[in-house]
Amino acid sequence: MEKTFLMIKPDGVQRGLIGEIVGRFEKKGLKLVAGKFLQVSREQAARHYAEHEGKPFYEPLLAFITSGPVFAMVWEGDQAVALTRALIGKTNAVDAAPGTIRSDYAVHTNFNLIHGSDSPENAEKEIANFFTPDQIVKYEQTIQRWI
Ligand code: IDP
Ligand code: MG
Neighbours of 43 (CB within 10 A): 10
Binding site membership of 103 for ligand 1 (Cβ less than 6 Å): no
pLDDT level of residue 5 (50, 70, 90 thresholds): very high
Mean predicted lDDT score pLDDT of the chain: 97
Q: Atom 3 (ligand 1): residue with closest C-alpha?
A: 91
Say yes or no: CB of residue 37 within 6 Å of ligand 1.
no
- Per the rule left: phi > 0, alpha: psi between -120 and 50, beta: everything else, 29 is left
pTM beyond 0.75: the answer is yes
Residues with CB under 5 A from ligand 2 (ion): 118
Domains of the chain, CATH where assigned: 2-137 (3.30.70.141)
State residue 12's pLDDT score. 98
- 113-138 b/e with 16+ CB inside 10 Å = b? bbbbbeeeebbeebbebbbeeeeeee
- For 22-62, the pLDDT digits (tens) are 999 999 999 999 999 999 999 999 999 999 999 999 999 99
- In this prediction, residue 130 carries a pLDDT of 98
3-state DSSP helix/strand/coil percent for the chain, to nearest 5? 50, 15, 35
For ligand 1, whether the C-beta of 102 sits within 6 Å is: no
How much is the average pLDDT of 104-132? Answer: 97
Contact 95, 36 (CB under 8 A): no
Distance 66 CA to ligand 1 centre (A): 15
**pLDDT category of residue 96 using cuts at 50, 70 and 90:** very high
**Distance from Cα 49 to the centre of ligand 1, integer Å:** 10
- Determine the distance from the C-alpha atom of residue 78 to the mean position of all C-alpha atoms in its chain, rounded to a whole number: 17
pLDDT over 90 percentage in the chain? 100
Average pLDDT of span 119-134: 98
Q: Tell me if residue 108 is catalytic.
A: no
For 61-86, how does the pLDDT look when each residue is reduced to its tens digit (9 = 90+)?
A: 999 999 999 999 999 999 999 999 99
